Structure 1
Amino acid sequence: MIIDFHTHVDEAEAFGWIDPPEKIVGLLDEAGIDKAVIMTYTDLPGTNPGALEYIVDAAAQFPDRLVPFVRLNPNYTAAMTELVERAVELGVRGVKLHPTTTLAHPAGDATVAVLRASAQAGLPVLFHCGDDPYTTPQTLGLAAQAVPECAIVFGHMGGYFHVRDAIDTALRLPNVYLETSAMPRPEMIRTAVGELGAHRVIFGSDGPGCNPRLELAKITSLGLPAADEQAILGGNAARLMEVSAA
């Protein structure tokens, strides 16, 4: 079972983002990927109050292929606990946070509250992790340290210039996992596996913006032991989301 931990489904015409669920499913088929985590581009509740219902409905159109995550803006503090609880009721299996778009500091009180609510609900949290403000591994590490009970996934495992920092942060903090999408140096995935263990690395593509087939090749071209490859390509994601890997 191959699970892509990071894809987008959204239809936000005002922003020029028209990526309905059938689009990502077509890309999964081309790449030979079984399932994908889907999330919106827009943050709930500010720019898109209907984002939760949209992503749940999108996943319901392909229930064997798509797993919904809810993308939240922690600055709406009064709504966060209720939104996390509602998301769980609707079958959402994780949370996405993008500090660049929300300007919510990862270790600020508002975000920490979301992390605690997510941990209590058994949901992993996928952060955008890269080179832009509020998203570097060092900053996200403050959040992971503040809420050690929360499984925190660094999307893009540090982006272009902070991959080594992402690995070092994960070495310090056992609740941090590294997700591989859009990171241009496949050899650093091998380094992460060697230093952290395959159980701390998760395959993602960031499709449709990035091609899932190309992102998958970054993993399969490394020649990793079969058990390690299977863990990265699906086992770890299934474990964090508590879904079947069969």
Structure 2
Amino acid sequence: MLIIDCHCHAGEGDGLTGPWDTRASLKKFMQWSAEAGIQKTVLFAAFHTDYTKANAQTAQIVGRYPARFYGFAFVHAERDRGRIHSMVQTAVEEYGFCGIKVHRHDARISREICIAARAFNIPVLYDPTGETSTIELIATEYRDVNFIIPHLSSFADDWRAQLAFLDLLARHPNVYTDTSGVRRFDLLEMAYQRAGASKILFGTDGPWLHPAVEIAKIYALKAPLEDLQLMLGENFLKLTSKVKTKQSTY
């Protein structure tokens, strides 16, 4: 069974406020991933003040191990305003990336990002840091764009936000989630029961969380094999299977 980790940071940041914007080293993490049976991993940059530079660093890592890694382009909705399409175009057409990463810690997701995702038919992995109301807006405004909302919407273990997100996950066909960092197993179980295996992707939020711990939550759902296959790899492949490698008008 193919196992794909859809959520892992890599490379150097330049903020020096914590591990998330200092360094995301893969040395130990990739050994842990192999031991956990994970064959492929989606990489995107650590937090950075220059995502053009950071995405190029990610591309170097992906380029060295193309059979092992996928790449997502990290963009900042405010700081990269006016050039997001060109950044994504470079990432897709030159680097072979297949998605966009956005974080509310940087700025709230923008129309420009959603339009770029539509143009290249790639998913957006957007961490809203518990701001679930935005998910309702983007899912409705951009019904032809797929959004992966990690951590059931809140890495901070905001129970209220995660509970509210379950309705959005079940109701919107273009809203998905990943399992990285979810500590409340009862909510993960509710997500599986309400939205189904086709809306859940396995992720670790590496390299800081141990992949063996993260994947154990998937197996703890005691889902049938076909559901495990969806969550552990097939859903990701479906979301990234129709990337447009030529520039689209928008």
Q: TM-score range by the shorter chain?
A: 0.7 to 0.9
Question: 2:174 maps to which residue?
Answer: 175
1:135-150 map, 5 Å: 136-150=131-145
The range that moved more, 26-35 or 199-208, is: 26-35
For 2:152, which of 157, 165, 182 is the aligned residue?
157
Find out whether 1:35 has 2:52 as its counterpart.
no
1:129–1:186 CA distance, 2 compared to 1 (3 A): farther
Q: Distance in 1 between matches of 2:167 and 2:174?
A: 13
Question: 1:47 maps to which residue?
Answer: 50
- The runs of 5 or more residues in structure 1 that have no matched partner are none
1:115-134 map, 5 Å: 115-131=114-130
SS in 1 for 2:83: helix
Equivalent pair of 1:199/1:231 in contact (CA under 8 Å): yes
For 2:23, which of 15, 18, 23 is the aligned residue?
18
In the TM superposition, residue 141 of structure 1 has moved relative to its aligned partner by 2.2
In the TM superposition, residue 237 of structure 1 has moved relative to its aligned partner by 0.8
TM-score, with length taken from structure 2: 0.86
Equivalent pair of 1:40/1:51 in contact (CA under 8 Å): yes
Q: Distance in 1 between matches of 2:146 and 2:183?
A: 24
For 1:97, which of 98, 102, 108 is the aligned residue?
102
Question: 1:81 maps to which residue?
Answer: 85
1:67–1:36 CA distance, 2 compared to 1 (3 A): same
Q: Distance in 1 between matches of 2:9 and 2:232?
A: 18
**For the aligned residues, what is the CA RMSD?**
1.7
Q: Distance in 2 between matches of 1:186 and 1:65?
A: 29
1:194–1:48 CA distance, 2 compared to 1 (3 A): closer
For 2:67, which of 43, 64, 67 is the aligned residue?
64
How many pairs align? 231
Q: Distance in 1 between matches of 2:72 and 2:8?
A: 10
SS in 2 for 1:9: strand
Equivalent pair of 2:12/2:54 in contact (CA under 8 Å): no
